């Protein structure tokens, strides 16, 4: 007669451990998205693909930001502009190099896309709502010198 009760208890234990595993997974995920993975982001300077980029316009301008996560956000925003073929933001120089097809987009559209993601460029101020949504460590100083 004790059997069913025992079974119930077992179920509960199983349930509990699932919950524990789940919360560990959540903690691990949160840890992974922290800004600490900067070291992983090695700046790549692409000098190859010259022939492919002959038809491309290359520009370079200042963009404020702090860390490797900023780099990811800034480059993602830039690459989302149709016609952009490459984007490399330099965390030390606070500067981005962009190659794009000028029959598909222009420099101002790129400035605006970066600003929409929360980051200041030389020609456009970062969207404040997006800025406030950035992780704390990415909330750069608005007086930061750029294009150094
Ligand atoms: Cu950052």
Helix axes 68-79, 107-116, angle to 10 degrees: 130
Give me ligand 1 centre to Cα 34, in Å.
9
Residues with CB under 5 A from ligand 1 (ion): 66-67, 69-70, 138
CATH code given to domain 56-138: 3.30.70.100
What is the reported pTM?
0.66
Would you state the pLDDT for residue 55? 81
Give me ligand 1 centre to Cα 84, in Å.
22
Give me ligand 1 centre to Cα 96, in Å.
15
Give me ligand 1 centre to Cα 101, in Å.
28
Give me ligand 1 centre to Cα 48, in Å.
28
Give me ligand 1 centre to Cα 19, in Å.
32
pLDDT, mean of each 10-residue run, the chain (148 residues): 48 54 52 52 52 77 98 98 98 98 97 98 98 97 94
Domain ranges of the chain: 1-54, 56-138
């Amino acid at each position: 007669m004790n059997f069913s009760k025992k079974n119930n208890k077992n179920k509960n234990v199983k349930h509990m451990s699932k919950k524990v595993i789940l919360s560990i997974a959540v903690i691990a995920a949160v840890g992974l998205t922290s800004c600490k993975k900067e070291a992983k982001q090695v700046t790549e300077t692409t000098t190859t693909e010259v022939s492919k980029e002959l038809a491309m316009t290359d520009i370079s301008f200042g963009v404020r930001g702090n860390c490797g996560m900023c780099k990811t956000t800034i480059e993602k925003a830039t690459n989302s502009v149709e016609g952009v073929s490459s984007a490399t933001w330099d965390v030390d120089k606070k500067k981005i190099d962009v190659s794009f097809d000028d029959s598909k987009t222009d420099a101002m559209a790129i400035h605006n896309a970066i600003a929409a993601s929360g980051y200041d460029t030389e020609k456009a101020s970062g969207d404040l709502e997006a800025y406030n949504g950035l992780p704390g460590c990415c909330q750069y100083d608005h007086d930061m010198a750029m294009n150094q």
